A and B are shown apart, each in its own frame.
Chain A
């Protein structure tokens, strides 16, 4: 082996985890972690929550501080973008024109917010839009929080998790908030309708207005305020617009270097790309999930980013294991916590279990009564049961769906010992 070492492109959750794991697994050669952002790796989940709510502007919540990187001999290159990969010569080029060679390469490039189409579908005038806020980076959160002043009218486009967390944070800051959603309900992706309606009700009681099933036909600015027009003729004036309409995996570097891309950088169960010396992990990759019949999925979730970063480090060092962690996601809005383990859409029936004041659980089962997902909403007390459900999902046990509805049946008892 040469001394070129391990290179990780993308210094986010996944990249930072992978770098640290390479060291703890005993790799003694070089580790270079390349990140386009000016900050050392930091946590994104607070960006739509505490970052927007706190009175004084918080600093980024570090995942790997510069001193820790030095201590672990991880060469952290901030504000540095990888622009090309020469797979034949195991070489990458950086935006300053320099190049580096690698033994193994990990792509942990994450995702970027989807932008509103301009011109809007069905219109031929480009959006005359000075600034629509999107939320992915610390800088995005800083510029959005400046707008969240008491009494300001904020429009959130998109009733997904990030949009709803922004709505809750904006209410906490005393803004007037309207959420516009093109679909018939909020949280169309990823949670059952019963949970979506509990979330909807919580937002309404906090004073958030919803415009569901609303197609935007145009937008304009008077210099003082923005006007959003809808295809049914209605219009809405506001001071700030934030769009949370999904994310697009960052695959440009991979596809330009000839790596397979399929809703993200295509990897196998070890997280190897179509080039055996290049791996991809986190929000940027799609992978086959063994618990779901090898179905190819892409996740945008914090724990997956960590777990895949860790797993990819092992694969880069030659481990053969398949990545099979049960997907897990959480969201916090007001005093509500929502957690989803598994893939609810893989189920055909849903069983409800009430935990009383602690919250509600929904179990998603296949026709054969195998548990494929569990979602919970309520206080922090739901965490224990979702964690147990996650372990049951991983065990692929066949369950009695009637018993699941009974709160006195302990989930722990269903775990194969």
Chain B
């Protein structure tokens, strides 16, 4: 479902606290995070090092650790935080509306 560029991605409770899920839309893949403080964020789904799904990685504080080579990003800003990743991760605007999560991917 899309509305003025916003796409319905999932429900708030689909994601556990301090965790991440994968969201595929058309040909693209995203990662949607819920922080320990119940804030939600969205980034590109693939690591910028190689094409591995970040949603299989571990959320620790504001960081997502890639499951393949343990590179890390700050998922709230997209910043690369630990080698071997050096390229930042794209982040996307996200909004919550009565339990639904929408992201804008353009």
- Docked pose: A203 CA to B56 CA in angstroms: 25
Asked if residues B67 and A384 are in contact (CB atoms below 8 Å), the reply is yes
Answer whether residue B44 sits at the interface, using C-beta atoms and an 8 A cutoff.
no
List, in ascending order, chain B residues with CB within 8 A of A303's CB.
69-70
List, in ascending order, chain B residues with CB within 8 A of A388's CB.
58
| Number of chain A residues whose Cβ lies closer than 8 Å to a Cβ of chain B | 8
List, in ascending order, chain B residues with CB within 8 A of A383's CB.
56-57, 67
Taken residue by residue from 369 to 400, chain A's Cβ proximity to chain B (1 for < 8 Å, 0 otherwise) reads as 00000000000110110011000000000000
| Nearest CB in chain B: distance from A297 CB, A | 21
Answer whether residue A412 sits at the interface, using C-beta atoms and an 8 A cutoff.
yes
Asked if residues A387 and B58 are in contact (CB atoms below 8 Å), the reply is yes
| Nearest CB in chain A: distance from B82 CB, A | 12
Asked if residues B58 and A384 are in contact (CB atoms below 8 Å), the reply is yes
Answer whether residue B12 sits at the interface, using C-beta atoms and an 8 A cutoff.
no
| Nearest CB in chain B: distance from A309 CB, A | 12
Residue of B whose beta carbon sits closest to that of A383:
B67
Considering only residues 331-385 of chain A, those with a C-beta below 8 Å from chain B are 380-381, 383-384
Answer whether residue B90 sits at the interface, using C-beta atoms and an 8 A cutoff.
no
List, in ascending order, chain A residues with CB within 8 A of B70's CB.
303
Considering only residues 41-67 of chain B, those with a C-beta below 8 Å from chain A are 52-53, 56-58, 65, 67
List, in ascending order, chain A residues with CB within 8 A of B57's CB.
383-384, 387
- Docked pose: A237 CA to B45 CA in angstroms: 47
Asked if residues B56 and A381 are in contact (CB atoms below 8 Å), the reply is yes
Asked if residues A384 and B18 are in contact (CB atoms below 8 Å), the reply is no
Asked if residues B67 and A387 are in contact (CB atoms below 8 Å), the reply is yes
- Docked pose: A383 CA to B52 CA in angstroms: 11
Asked if residues B65 and A387 are in contact (CB atoms below 8 Å), the reply is yes
* Contact partner, B18, options A381, A387, A412, Cβ 8 Å: A412
Residue of B whose beta carbon sits closest to that of A21:
B83
Residue of B whose beta carbon sits closest to that of A339:
B67
| Nearest CB in chain B: distance from A46 CB, A | 10
List, in ascending order, chain A residues with CB within 8 A of B65's CB.
387
Considering only residues 297-319 of chain A, those with a C-beta below 8 Å from chain B are 303
List, in ascending order, chain A residues with CB within 8 A of B56's CB.
380-381, 383-384
Residue of B whose beta carbon sits closest to that of A415:
B60
Asked if residues B53 and A380 are in contact (CB atoms below 8 Å), the reply is yes
List, in ascending order, chain B residues with CB within 8 A of A381's CB.
56
Residue of A whose beta carbon sits closest to that of B67:
A383
List, in ascending order, chain A residues with CB within 8 A of B58's CB.
384, 387-388
- Docked pose: A22 CA to B44 CA in angstroms: 32
| Nearest CB in chain B: distance from A34 CB, A | 23
- Docked pose: A388 CA to B65 CA in angstroms: 11
- Docked pose: A381 CA to B52 CA in angstroms: 12
List, in ascending order, chain B residues with CB within 8 A of A384's CB.
56-58, 67
Considering only residues 242-280 of chain A, those with a C-beta below 8 Å from chain B are none
Taken residue by residue from 60 to 88, chain B's Cβ proximity to chain A (1 for < 8 Å, 0 otherwise) reads as 00000101011000000000000000000
- Docked pose: A209 CA to B38 CA in angstroms: 51
- Docked pose: A412 CA to B53 CA in angstroms: 20
- Docked pose: A103 CA to B18 CA in angstroms: 47
List, in ascending order, chain B residues with CB within 8 A of A412's CB.
18
- Docked pose: A303 CA to B67 CA in angstroms: 12
| Nearest CB in chain B: distance from A12 CB, A | 16
Taken residue by residue from 14 to 39, chain B's Cβ proximity to chain A (1 for < 8 Å, 0 otherwise) reads as 00001000000000000000000000
- Docked pose: A388 CA to B56 CA in angstroms: 12
- Docked pose: A383 CA to B69 CA in angstroms: 11
- Docked pose: A412 CA to B65 CA in angstroms: 14
Taken residue by residue from 63 to 83, chain A's Cβ proximity to chain B (1 for < 8 Å, 0 otherwise) reads as 000000000000000000000
Residue of B whose beta carbon sits closest to that of A385:
B58
- Docked pose: A380 CA to B53 CA in angstroms: 9
Residue of B whose beta carbon sits closest to that of A24:
B83
Residue of A whose beta carbon sits closest to that of B20:
A384
- Docked pose: A387 CA to B70 CA in angstroms: 9
- Docked pose: A325 CA to B67 CA in angstroms: 17
List, in ascending order, chain B residues with CB within 8 A of A387's CB.
57-58, 65, 67
Asked if residues A380 and B67 are in contact (CB atoms below 8 Å), the reply is yes
| Nearest CB in chain B: distance from A68 CB, A | 11
- Docked pose: A384 CA to B18 CA in angstroms: 12
13 cross-chain CB contacts under 8 A: A303-B69, A303-B70, A380-B52, A380-B53, A380-B56, A381-B56, A383-B56, A384-B57, A384-B58, A384-B67, A387-B57, A387-B58, A412-B18
Which 4 pairs across A and B sit closest by C-beta, in order of nearness? A383-B67, A380-B56, A383-B56, A387-B58
Which residues of B come within 8 Å of A, CB atoms?
18, 52-53, 56-58, 65, 67, 69-70
| New contact pairs (16) apart from A380-B52, A380-B67, A388-B58, CB-CB < 8 Å | A303-B69, A303-B70, A380-B53, A380-B56, A381-B56, A383-B56, A383-B57, A383-B67, A384-B56, A384-B58, A384-B67, A387-B57, A387-B58, A387-B65, A387-B67, A412-B18
